[in-house]
């Protein structure tokens, strides 16, 4: 298993931890890519247009990912 696939596996694991919370609010999350120590995710369902999406991204998703994969610098939203 290469370094990138190991990082991707850990990022997926972190996303799985927060997915239940996101799904329970009527949304969902998808990993789009990992590039230059940044994770790009897509939020769907009720998350699109939600006024709390930034809090979910930084306090939930980004925190969970950085805890598992400290080398990740940020998590960015894509459409």
Q: Any idea what DSSP says for residue 61?
A: I
Mean pLDDT for the stretch of residues 43-63: 90
Question: Please, what is the average pLDDT of the chain?
Answer: 92
Residue 49 confidence (pLDDT): 83
CB-based contact 18:30 (threshold 8 Å) = no
The 10s digit of each residue's pLDDT in 55-75 is 899 999 999 999 999 999 999
Q: Return the bridge partners of 43, or none.
A: 29
Residue 34 confidence (pLDDT): 96
The 10s digit of each residue's pLDDT in 4-14 is 689 999 999 99
* Domains present along the chain, CATH in parentheses: 3-77 (3.30.300.130)
């Amino acid at each position: 298993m290469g370094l990138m696939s190991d990082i991707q596996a850990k990022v997926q694991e972190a996303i799985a931890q927060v997915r239940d919370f996101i799904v329970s609010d009527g949304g969902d999350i998808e990993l789009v890519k990992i590039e230059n120590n940044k994770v790009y995710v897509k939020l769907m369902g009720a998350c699109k247009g939600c006024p709390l999406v930034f809090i979910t991204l930084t306090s939930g998703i980004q925190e969970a990912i950085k805890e598992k994969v400290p080398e990740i610098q940020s998590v960015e939203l894509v459409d």
